[in-house]
Amino acid sequence: MSCVSATKHVLKPPAIGPGARIGVIAPASPVREEFVTRGVAELERHGFRVRLGRHLYERRRYTAGSAEARLEDLVELWESSDVDAIFCARGGYGSMELLSRVDSDIFRARPKVFLGSSDVTALLASLLARSGIVSFHGPMVAQQIARSAFDVSNLLRLIQSKEPGSLKASGLEILHPGSAEGRLWGGCLSIVTALVGTAHLPRFEDSVLFLEDTQVKPYQIDRMLTQLRLAGSFDSVRGLVFGQMPACEQHPDQGYALQDVLRDCTRELGIPVTYGFPSGHTRTDTMTIPLGVRVRLDVDGLTTLEGAVA
């Protein structure tokens, strides 16, 4: 199956409401039970039921068990008629190991709400590129959800309502002015860059691209953005949104701001660019954004032009 263009028709998962059952998996790094327990309690507080993957607490070096075990949890919960959505427990590393083992037809046959960020960007990308399914970049069960460090109303609206709506955020900086419309895609910059040259990276034609990361130095961000530019990834991008990028500095007295680097790296693109959108790794409560739906980018943030669920 070829990669899905950003302008091609995508599949929207069914909306889920109170009482829906959410499956929880760890496709990347190991998770601590105490944090999962807190995240599950938070989901239950909002009216959801929860089912944990059978291999959720396994460990193998720096991953949550073997690739086979992590994939088994993903496929089992996805194919289960008793599970309405799948939320990832955390990121770290390991999601890319699953990509060559995934049968994309399994996901396309039964679209579901799939939520994650950070290293899970690899799975979000593959769902859109290989299966054409809208997915959700946002809080994870053993991290932001466990700490109640996420915008609850934003998440619930996106996965429960078929209507378009606002994804406005305060404190955004305009690096290059303008407005744009396109299909939203993106995630963790390190993972997006690592997927270049694979069949699991969606095409960026006529898209609004969101990129964020954490604990990478400005020159490393410069290098990754340069790689994407040289690969032609930015050629048809209509607008670019950067996240808050916490801890992305060389040292406290480096003499320049990250925004200066981002502004210079994107100057020749000739498109609107903003900085500071709170999704993924953030300094404030994280927001959820729907990947694969059409949005409008302006000075206040993003507005969805269609619902993210069916």
Kindly list the catalytic residues: 118, 212, 281
Separation CA 29–CA 63 (nearest Å): 4
Rg, C-alpha atoms of the chain: 18
Q: What angle do CA 65, 68, 70 make, to 5 degrees?
A: 55
Least Cα distance to 290 among 303, 274, 271 occurs for 303
Helix ranges (H only) for the chain are: 33-45, 67-79, 96-99, 104-109, 121-131, 152-160, 189-194, 218-230, 258-266
Provide the residue type at 105 as one letter: D
The residue among 199, 176, 173 whose CA lies nearest residue 300 is 173
Most distant CA atoms of the chain, gap in Å: 55
